[in-house]
Amino acid sequence: MGSPSSASIRQNNLLFLIFIMIFFFYYIPDKISLCSNQSSVNPSVIPYKISSSISSLETPKLDGYFSFDDIDYAAKDFGNMYHVLPSAVLHPKSVSDISNTIKHIFKMGSTSQLTVAARGHSHSLQGQAQAHQGIVINMESLQGPKLQVHTGEQPYVDASGGELWINILHETLKYGLAPKSWTDYLHLTVGGTLSNAGISGQAFKHGPQINNIYQLEVVTGKGEVVTCSEKQNVELFYGVLGGLGQFGIITRAKISLEPAPKKVKWIRALYDEFSKFSNDQEHLISKNSFDYIEGLVIINRTGLLNNWRSSFNPKEPLQASQFISEGKILYCLEIAKYFNPNESDVMSQETESLLSELSYIPSTLFLSEVSYVEFLDRVHQSEIKLRAKGLWEIPHPWLNLLIPKNKIFEFAQEVFGNILTDNSNGPILIYPVNKSKWDNRTSLVTPEEDTFYLVAFLSSAMPSSTGRDGLFHILAQNKRILGFCSSASLGAKQYLPHYSTQEEWQAHFGPKWEVFVARKSTYDPMAILAPGQRIFRRNNLHMMLASRSRLISGKES
């Protein structure tokens, strides 16, 4: 056997260096364990300040209860890379349980270091819903008024922040209604997606989920229960939407509804040129032609079209059987049109007309007709299969980016041509949206251009692997992609952002940073909420504000 190549040695050194940097940064300040099944926090050595604060939690009167033992699950999430043990888990039965707990901590002031994180269906990626030696609130245990569907000219559903979107779908369908905008995976909580954005293939038409909310009930970092909307407590309303949990915990939401279809025409087709693929996507979102528009990047996939046959029918079976996908980078257009059975003929004619305007490879057109529920809940079927194989609860080093339209070709050339060359470790989503459908008053940050693309690298890392499907290789790959975005000045923004320093967060928010900090100082001045985002630190916010105030005063003088 020959000696390792210098390129291999450099790669190993790079991965080792990345590991050391991640370990050093996260372990030293916050005792966070990267990709470990054991928390590095030992409850028996909790500092006195924390211990006394925890014992005082018996003071608030609760309808629910606290758990102090067997709470390791609260240190885990879907990302499965960060494991931070809390001191307690609150299982609220009422909104007042959440309010009284936060109010109690807030009144303790600087004598306490306790923080609070709301945990929905634990689908966070990098410990965002965890709280080091703090309190994790199990939002799914929140009880209160059941789902209430209101019909009329502006129908809506009134839902708990801990309710799953899949349950909202089933309940609203009883009234022939459904929310307008979705995520690709419905087993997520209302509060969780609204704290980020909630994006899927309907976003080009209706905007993200946060654009389809009439009213919120929020518990602030002071423990106040506040009802807010675009006409009432406006600043809090827009701050909480896409606010990463920094200003309040969403306990209820009134979500806009529309008439629900019964059936979906589901279509896939392949392209071998990115320019044709992106041009067709942009053409379709400009026409509001379909009800759902997404796309996929497929790298060196064997037997791709044969795999599709389990769910789709080829338009040209013989030609499809002869298509070779191995060794190619292909781009898949995925579109859907909603309809009711009595509209089938009209829908088919409209679909054929629209497809005739596109430049996909003819032999790769596949079609299917499924129920509306089957289409929306499609990812859950994949979850069931992956759980059966033991491949669901593994590390998921996902990277989600928003790329301006005028830079997407440059991005695709570098990333799909040079960085990802052999294969991918999971789906790569890519599709454009119209910024005109997104409300700029929310806390969500998007590129400045009118049209931008969501590019989502939904990687899965094989446990214990040190190869291309291992965690540190994928993390290094993500770092290369982010490095290119920065060096090429693409104007990209992270969706579901994750940063290490406040300077990076400030750069991420850009002109919105001052407003973001002002909202934080108003609604969570002790920085009690959502510590896992690592934007502000407990009791340090007031010092940062004071420092900034002195700086401004010095400039004015």
As annotated, the active-site residues are 123, 184, 294
Three-class secondary structure of residue 484 per DSSP: helix
DSSP 529: B
Q: For residues 175 and 291, what is the distance between their CA atoms, to the nearest angstrom?
A: 21
459: region left, alpha or beta (phi > 0 left; psi from -120 to 50 alpha) = beta
Signed CA dihedral, 289, 294, 300, 303: sign only: negative
Q: Pairing mode, if any, of strands 88-91 and 135-138?
A: parallel
- State the Cα torsion 193-196-201-204 to the nearest 10°: 130
**Phi, psi for residue 77 in degrees, rounded to 5:** -150, 180
Q: For residues 94 and 80, what is the distance between their CA atoms, to the nearest angstrom?
A: 30
**What's the alpha-carbon Rg for the chain, to the nearest Å?**
24
451-476 burial code (b ≥16 CB/10 A, e <16):
bbbbbbbbbbbbeebeeebbbbbbbb
Three-class secondary structure of residue 111 per DSSP: helix
Reported residue count of the chain is 557
Nearest-5° Cα angle at 173, 147 to 288: 115
Within 8 A by CB and 6+ apart from 335, the residues are 201, 267, 284, 290, 292, 293, 294
Which residue type, as a one-letter code, is found at position 411? F
> What tokens were used for 361?
């490879």
Q: Which residues pair with 259 in a beta bridge?
A: 177
480 Cα distance to chain centroid: 21
